[in-house]
Structure 1
Amino acid sequence: MRAIADRRRQPDAGIRELSDRLWTHSRLIRVTGLRAVAAAAPRRPLADTCTALADTLLDAVERTCLHPDGHWQRTPDDPSVDAALPATDPRTRATLAACRREPADDHFLYRFRHDERPLEEAEGAFLLCGFVMALAEHQQGRTVEASRWFERYRGACGGSGLYAEEFDIAQRRLRGNLPQAFVHAVLRETAARLGE
């Protein structure tokens, strides 16, 4: 908690970012983590401290990283789309709509748009993002769309049944780290949720 409080105004780069900046996703993950600690805190003062810090962080992100269209943008100075919040939040719904329009192509989702090149020329479709999109559609009650995202990504594995980090939609082949444990974990979670 102390490290988060002390460094909350400092740019950083997590496991998915490219350089040190004030990334919306990383900052919202901290809010989520603090709220989880507050919910599980055995002592009330710890819960109150975590909640207060989470509120402070969320307020800062809302002031600097909420796009005029209502969706989360990547950083205070990068208006392209980024996603991370509870399903019922209107900013989440706006962000999902923006993701469907912007970094997606034929039910393949990319982390972000690098530049003006077609998405598939910059990098492969990010498999983790596609399964998360299926979960998000499911949370919104859009079960048919959730199934479309899931099936599109379920078929993006190698001959051994393993998933990589990315899928090249033009060449129909795996790219990046193989096997990618996060992708396998979210595949299982998505299958279980959609099967309920």
Structure 2
Amino acid sequence: MSANKSNANKSNKSSKSNEKDKTPTVNAMRELSIEKLVLNICVGESGDRLTRAAKVLEQLTGQTPVYSKARYTVRSFGIRRNEKIAVHVTVRGPKAEEILERGLKVKEYELKRSNFSETGNFGFGIQEHIDLGIKYDPSIGIYGMDFYVVLGRPGARVSRRRKSQKKIGFNHRVTKDETIKWFKQRFDGIVLNR
């Protein structure tokens, strides 16, 4: 009787393994995800316009923006070295996905091929921040902004950690074509060949 049970168990196990072999497995380590979204407004001068641009980013993200300084003096632009000329904020997690969705809706989910970098990141700009659903405030005005999206795979920390830093292999790095494919699948986006 015990021999019959063991034979029955073996046949059940083999039928289960056949079922698993039929479905294509997806490697969870190969899936792309948004690591971060950086929103940038470059005003080109310090002062009142820059603080108003910071208010726009704070309204949009709910985070305190950081000021960026000029690297060197450019007389023709009227900027001096170390003068605050831009504001940016880094957003991660579900909030980043929600803001990116709103930004792509403004662009009608249409990007150029040149918007995508060779390292698997992409960026685009919008002309008016009020298109994102922020109410127009006459005291602030209208600002355009840049969106920069960094994509990554699980395991990328290996190249950034402090101890035992290693390089990521070429087959695990994010490429331009993989990012374009992810963008088309995730957002039903259109990539123009320009």
Q: Shorter-normalised TM-score: what interval?
A: under 0.3
Structure number with the higher helix fraction is 1
How high is the TM-score relative to the length of structure 1? 0.27
How high is the TM-score relative to the length of structure 2? 0.28
Structure number with the higher strand fraction is 2
Greater relative CO (CA pairs within 8 A, separation 6+): 2
**Which entry has the higher C-alpha Rg, 1 or 2?**
2
